[in-house]
A and B are shown apart, each in its own frame.
Chain A
Amino acid sequence: MAFPSRLLTSRWGAILTGAVIGVLAPVLVRWGNPGNMGVCVACFTRDVAGALGFHRAAAVQYLRPEIAGLILGSLAAALLFREFRPRGGSSPLARFLLGLFAAIGALVFLGCPWRAYLRLGGGDWNAIPGILGLAAGVGLGILCLRRGFSLGRSQGSPKALGFVMPALALGLLALLVLAPLFGRDAAGLPTGPVFFSAKGPGSQHAPLWIALAASLAIGFLAQRSRFCSVGAVRDLILLRDGQMFYGLVALVAAAALTNGALGQFRAGFAGQPLAHTATLWNFGGMVLAGLAFTLAGGCPGRQLFLSGEGDGDAAVFSLGLLTGAAVAHNFNLASSAAGPAPYGPASVLLGLAVCAVIGLTFREPAGAR
């Protein structure tokens, strides 16, 4: 295992992981996932929130097995390479809020950073203002880091706590396979616990085992290579370290080539799958998401991989993302193909204000340790 492990932790690891995501995502679209949404952590978390009945947008309800696969793939790598390290206690409530507003920003744009790059690799030029917004949000986060921002230190926690997110992932897979029905209301409609879209993006999905296998592989690789689509830009600017950035370039290039090979590459602004053309809010939504991800230490994919390693703070961020996805639909904040929702822009401004307070006030206490 020494050689593949060293390869994955070298500069080639990020490139390999990016390329694998760039190839597998369009393949998953070919197998049934929604357009330019082969893997999207924000969209899929939103679908999971809908499938659990946390929001009632009937078109986006499915227990995406990819979310569970990313966590369990990372867990497998962490256990195999002895990096499973349960920990937590670094400002969990602030991380929950960052996850919540990151979801709202991402759903105003319509995608997490991975999907922004996958949309670019599919010819959706609306991704460009989104990616510029993401970079601007990362830039704001870097300004906070340079002023001394810190969410404080985590500490080791009991081993059992590290298995909570993997257990939740297994629970989601069980609900997906068993699709239990616990009761009906007076009108005879199912009360849950799970709901699946009959039409719309939630009804579009690759076969379970293909989606699971692809996401387990991505989770395994990404745990080893530390792949992070936000850290890629952050480290390039802050640390002059381009290792992860090459992974992003590989992702976009691989997605464009694979989409081209599959006949899925369609260049333009109008009529793109699950996207809108409101440039300002494609930009603005991702400024919010980029800032929230940077303050929380990584993109939503990275937060899932860290949860699989036992990082309870990343897990709390991911649960904040789940809650934010539900809020985004219940409060009419999430955009649709028609454009931004009535309260989306205001929620982005509120989110920026909350993130600014967190970014400007959280410091490691002087004299700690």
Chain B
Amino acid sequence: MSALIDARGLSCPEPAMNARKAMLAAGGGTIQILLDSVASRENVARAAAHLGWQAAVKDLPGGEFRMTLTK
């Protein structure tokens, strides 16, 4: 299962909350999330680590990030 969440432009705590909700609902697999701030990137990575998911980040142009969460 692979899903894409667009969390760009959302303020705290929505990016981490949305990612957490998706990870809990999926239970495993791959989730991609688009982010546009370093603080959100850190928050989502921490939420993933708490739930035992791996997070990999790819920098996109314009200061955006694509994070791939896998479990």
Give the B-binding residues of A (Cβ under 8 A): 9, 83, 85, 87, 90, 145, 150-156, 226, 228, 231, 234-235, 238-241, 243, 297-298, 313, 364, 369
Contacts and interface: CB of A to CB of B under 8 A. Distances in A.
Given A151-B11, A239-B47, A369-B6, A83 B38 contact: yes
A154 to B, nearest CB: 5
A298 B17 CA distance: 15
Nearest to A223: B39
Interface string B45-71: 011001000000000001100000000
A85 B13 contact: no
Contact of A239 (B6, B10, B13, B62): B13
A154 B12 contact: no
A155 B20 CA distance: 23
**Which 10 pairs show the lowest CB-CB distances between chains A and B?**
A153-B9, A297-B11, A154-B9, A297-B12, A369-B6, A226-B39, A83-B38, A239-B16, A239-B47, A153-B10
Nearest to B38: A83
Given A85-B37, A85-B63, A226-B42, A239 B9 contact: no
Interface string B10-33: 111110110010000000000000
Contacts, number: 56
A4 B43 CA distance: 19
Interface of B: 6, 8-14, 16-17, 20, 36-39, 42-43, 46-47, 50, 62-63
Contact of B9 (A90, A231, A243): A90
Contacts of A313: 11
B33 to A, nearest CB: 13
18 contacts: A85-B37, A85-B63, A87-B9, A90-B9, A90-B11, A151-B11, A153-B9, A153-B10, A226-B39, A226-B42, A228-B12, A231-B12, A231-B13, A234-B13, A241-B16, A241-B50, A243-B46, A364-B10
Nearest to A91: B11
Contacts of B50: 239-241
A68 to B, nearest CB: 23
Contacts of A238: 13, 17
A367 to B, nearest CB: 12
A152 B9 CA distance: 8
Contacts of A234: 13
Contacts of A226: 39, 42
A235 B13 contact: yes
Contacts of B43: 235, 239, 241
A150 B14 contact: yes
Contacts of B17: 145, 238-239
Nearest to A9: B42
B7 to A, nearest CB: 9
B10 A150 contact: yes
B46 A241 contact: yes
Contacts of A152: 9
Contacts of B63: 85
A85 B39 CA distance: 12
A226 B13 CA distance: 12
A369 B17 CA distance: 18
